[in-house]
Amino acid sequence: MSSRAERSFSRKKFLSGQWHTRAVTVRSGLMRLFAGFLSLKRKGVDDLAARCFPFYRVVDFGSGRGAYSRWFIDRCPCTVLAVDWSPEALRWASYRGKKGKVLPVCADLHMLPFKHGTIDSLFTVDALGHLCDQEKALDEIFRVCRPGAALFLHSECGDYKKRWPDNSLIRKIGFDYLADLDGHYSIRPSEELYSFYSRRFKVRRFFSPAGLTGWITGYPEKYRLAFKKARFHLLNIITELFTGIKKFPVTGLMLRLLNASINKFELLLDIKGGGSCFAYAEKPRQTDDFFQYSAFSIDIIIPTFNRPDSVYKIVQSLLYQCNYNDTIFVVWQGDQKPHVPASERVHLLFSSPPNLPHARNEALMAGYNPVVLFLDDDIVPESDLLDKHRNCYRQESTGAVAGFIEDPVFASEAPESNPWFDVNHGEIHQNFSMSESRNVISIMGANMSFRRSALLDIGGFDKGFRHNAHWEDVDCAFRLLKNNYQIWYCNEARVKHLRNYSGGCRSDKRYRFLFHSFANTVYFACKYAPLKKSLSWLVFWKYRLEYLSRKVPEKGRPFKPGHNLLAVIAGLLGASCGLIRFLFQGKRTGLPQQIIESQEL
């Protein structure tokens, strides 16, 4: 069938009211969970919305009246482009609210009016089965979506034709009456659809519930017409009865609940062969083979906490260095929203409660560029910082780059001493002001970049490190080493670290700082301490707590050496908290072999 005939059929269906999907606006968490249980389609759209951000451009492919677009923006307040070729349907789709908007776009679904790689996410429900050329439509979806774009694809499939009662109806009538009734011009088996998807996208999950009782619990009103045409009188009476039950609110809800429960049971038992298939997919991210190393695009991520004025100058300086596809994410936590320059490249994300690894992961998932650069909110970048980081990824084995950091902390270190880790005591010695580039074992959050694929491969940053997040960057470096990635120190990628003492990770007062420092230290030790060295680690950090809890001389008063009891209690409570945190959410990792071997030499 031609596209003109498809549009004519769609127009008749919308004008007759048969394709009026009811818009449901539910913001309550429990009610959305219940609605998602009743409908796998709403559940899929809801899951996709949970992965999106307010600045995303999302396409509802074959939107109809925009019911699923409204459902989407109730979860994620972004801009949804409702694309359909029926003007009659799109008249109802337009919506502008306080937390999102739906913009109707009338277009042929085989030729989308968007530029290459401009769409951040896309979902389609009840649309692909109505298209005569599904592969061309999927090619268009691939073209307009950016690398890494998340997708939810629902389509009608033809598996149901092999089961009863559909196979009996097709034999009796001579053709697929239900497909003809709904305008399903391109019904294909689920295996063929999966092949279409997997050739273009990275399919994370694909399923097709059997819907064995769908003819009475799902769509009895449609099967009633088919049984009537086929003169199956008994089945016609049964479906007539269930059609009447479905019309009443309470009994209709109970019938939908029964149908949803049966579908979940079928998925649990892996019973396939229904009339719908669902796919959670992602457009593959760019790999090194597809672009020049000099054109490596970078996502710059700047987490900030209660420093509203410090970020502006950093972002302004970085904007002058950005290439065409570079993007800047400022992740703010706390009560004070930062000021940033107005630019399409700059996106503000809010992360709560304050947690540095969580903020980094949020921005990591929001971006898509092959290199991810993390900077502190109290640094001054050199004018060529981004290009220097780009040029370090020529070697495929390079998983991360540690940049040069001008910091008073490194003044006490020997000028050319490598960062090293004391296996016997669990102490890290950092130095990122060396004059020559080389391979290292660690990184520092003030100036570090990653190959996105490597960072995703190790699962991002560990959210078990909280508040001041001591050790989170070292933990990330160790996991990279264990996965056989190299960490390159680049002397030319330079920043100056100002070490502001207001806001950021250093905003905690003494007792709170000690609590979180020892909580993170014990959490790290539980992950990496060799069992044979556990006692020496314990003794070393016991002495460290004694040193940090010593009394501080006060002016005008005689000084008596001793320990601050509250500081000791804060450290011990923090250590206990770190142990409990590891028992509930931590995972034993063990030290990388490179570090163990370096200690044995």
Percent of the chain, pLDDT > 90? 28
Which of 33, 84, 41, 22 shows the shortest CA–CA distance to 277?
Answer: 41
User: CB neighbours (10 Å) of residue 536?
Assistant: 16
| pLDDT band at residue 560 using 50, 70 and 90 as cut-offs | low
Q: Indicate whether 168 pLDDT > 70.
A: yes
Q: pLDDT value at position 556?
A: 62
Q: pLDDT value at position 293?
A: 39
Tell which wins on pLDDT, 529 or 334. 529
CATH class of 288-506: alpha beta
Q: What's the N-to-C CA distance of the chain in angstroms?
A: 74
Q: Indicate whether 291 pLDDT > 50.
A: no
Q: Would you give the distance in Å from CA 401 to the centre of its chain?
A: 23
477, 528 in Cβ contact below 8 A?
Answer: no
346-356 residue pLDDT tens:
998 888 888 88
Token pair of 482 as six digits: 């264990």
- In angstroms, the CA 152 to CA 204 distance is 10
Q: Indicate whether 98 pLDDT > 70.
A: no
> Nearest 5°: phi and psi at 123?
-140, 150
Q: pLDDT value at position 475?
A: 93
- In angstroms, the CA 148 to CA 366 distance is 9
Quick one: CA dihedral 250, 252, 257, 262, positive or negative? positive
Q: Indicate whether 287 pLDDT > 50.
A: no
Domain residue extents for the chain: 3-156, 288-506, 510-600
Q: Indicate whether 12 pLDDT > 70.
A: no
| pLDDT band at residue 582 using 50, 70 and 90 as cut-offs | very high
Mean predicted lDDT score pLDDT of the chain: 84
505-555 residue pLDDT tens:
555 677 888 898 899 999 999 999 988 888 998 998 888 888 888 876 666
In the chain, % helix, strand, coil (3-state, to 5) comes to: 45, 20, 35
Q: pLDDT value at position 508?
A: 62
Q: Which of 167-176, 235-244, 278-287 has the lowest mean pLDDT?
A: 278-287
> Between β-strands 57-61 and 100-106, what pairing exists: parallel, antiparallel or unpaired?
unpaired
470-486 residue pLDDT tens:
899 999 999 999 999 99
| pLDDT band at residue 33 using 50, 70 and 90 as cut-offs | confident
Which of 88, 78, 76, 70 shows the shortest CA–CA distance to 48?
Answer: 76
| pLDDT band at residue 572 using 50, 70 and 90 as cut-offs | very high
Between helix 29-38 and helix 40-50 the angle, nearest 10°, is: 130
Asked if residue 419 has a cis previous peptide bond (ω within 30° of 0), the answer is no
- In angstroms, the CA 171 to CA 154 distance is 28
Identify the three-state secondary structure at position 498.
coil
Identify the three-state secondary structure at position 206.
strand
For the entire predicted model, the pTM comes to 0.71
Alpha helices, H only, 183-310: 190-200, 214-217, 220-230, 233-247, 249-268
Helices (H) and strands (E) in the chain, counts: 22, 19
| pLDDT band at residue 274 using 50, 70 and 90 as cut-offs | confident
> Nearest 5°: phi and psi at 137?
-65, -40
Q: Indicate whether 13 pLDDT > 70.
A: no
Q: pLDDT value at position 553?
A: 66
394-420 residue pLDDT tens:
888 899 999 999 887 766 555 667 788
Q: Indicate whether 4 pLDDT > 80.
A: no
Q: Indicate whether 322 pLDDT > 70.
A: yes
Q: pLDDT value at position 290?
A: 38
Topology annotation, domain 3-156: Rossmann fold (3.40.50)
Q: pLDDT value at position 294?
A: 38
Q: pLDDT value at position 460?
A: 92
Tell which wins on pLDDT, 132 or 111. 111
**For the residues 142-159, what does the mean pLDDT come to?**
90
**For the residues 115-138, what does the mean pLDDT come to?**
89
Q: pLDDT value at position 289?
A: 39
User: CB neighbours (10 Å) of residue 240?
Assistant: 14
Between helix 534-548 and helix 510-528 the angle, nearest 10°, is: 170
| pLDDT band at residue 288 using 50, 70 and 90 as cut-offs | very low
**For the residues 329-351, what does the mean pLDDT come to?**
86
